[in-house]
Structure 1
Amino acid sequence: MTVETGTPRPAPALVPPAERGATRIADRVVAKIAAQAAREALAPLPGAAAAPHATVVTGRQTARVSVDVELGYPCDIGARCAAVRRRVTERVGALTAMAVPEVAVRVERLHPAAGQGRTS
């Protein structure tokens, strides 16, 4: 049986931030964020195109990202890749609090627009 005395309990001692531990975000989670950001930047994808795929190497507070994409053709390939770089940098940075010093975009395949197929 406990008796309440009416005196408040002392506040727990605050632990300094450096001693609280750290949050580790797995590389595969950062890669999924990057792939989703690339999809957002390229939407809509050409009908036969595979979804973007990303790989990531993380350091202490940095993420170096490589994204494989498929694009419709004709298009401004440089502008589309730049849009992917911007969006991936923005989303990975916002969601993970990591700096993204490098986003490499590799165009795996170009898909011709309807009616632009091969001619015999």
Structure 2
Amino acid sequence: MSAGTDVPDSRPAVVPPGERGATRIADRVVAKIAAQAAREAAGPLPPDAARPHATVVVHHDAAHVRVHLELGYPTDIGARCHEVRRHVAERVGALVGLEVPEVAVQVERLHLTAAHGAAHGRTR
């Protein structure tokens, strides 16, 4: 009831932050976000390359990410992996609100690009 009236108070009760509950985002959801960020950052991939995928372990407020990808060859592997690490950490942090102290990039396979193979007389 409001002070001095017989009308009930319609304002919701204010619940202290420590008693409001928590939001938990499943590891597989964070992994899908990380995989999409890796696809964005990896640049053009060979047509026969598998799409990047990720595995994630969330512990407290930190996501430890492992990204698996395939790249065309020749390429600057170090630079592309660095860009994937940077972009994945940025996107996961921005979209999920978790700290990303580690993004391990595992290059599963290198695909010889058609232009490079033809220039060197190689065929499949």
TM over 0.5: yes
Deviation at 1:46, TM superposition (A): 1.3
Deviation at 1:6, TM superposition (A): 9.4
Q: Which residue of 2 aligns with 1:81?
A: 81
Q: How many residues align?
A: 116
One-letter amino acid of the counterpart of residue 39, structure 1: R
Aligned counterparts of 2:88 and 2:32: Cα–Cα separation in 1: 11
Q: Which residue of 2 aligns with 1:37?
A: 37
Aligned counterparts of 2:48 and 2:77: Cα–Cα separation in 1: 18
Long gaps (5+) in structure 2: none
Q: Which residue of 1 aligns with 2:55?
A: 55
RMSD: 1.9
Aligned counterparts of 1:115 and 1:76: Cα–Cα separation in 2: 16
Deviation at 1:8, TM superposition (A): 6.8
**For each residue in 1:27-81, what CA deviation from the matched residue of structure 2 results, as whole angstroms up to 9, or x when unmatched?**
0000000000000001322111100010000011000000001001111000000
Determine which of 97, 118, 122 is the counterpart of 1:119: 122
Cα distance, 1:114–1:13 mapped onto 2, change above 3 Å: same
Identity of aligned residues (%): 67
Long gaps (5+) in structure 1: none
Aligned counterparts of 1:106 and 1:57: Cα–Cα separation in 2: 16
| TM-score where L is the length of structure 1 | 0.89
Aligned counterparts of 1:85 and 1:11: Cα–Cα separation in 2: 47
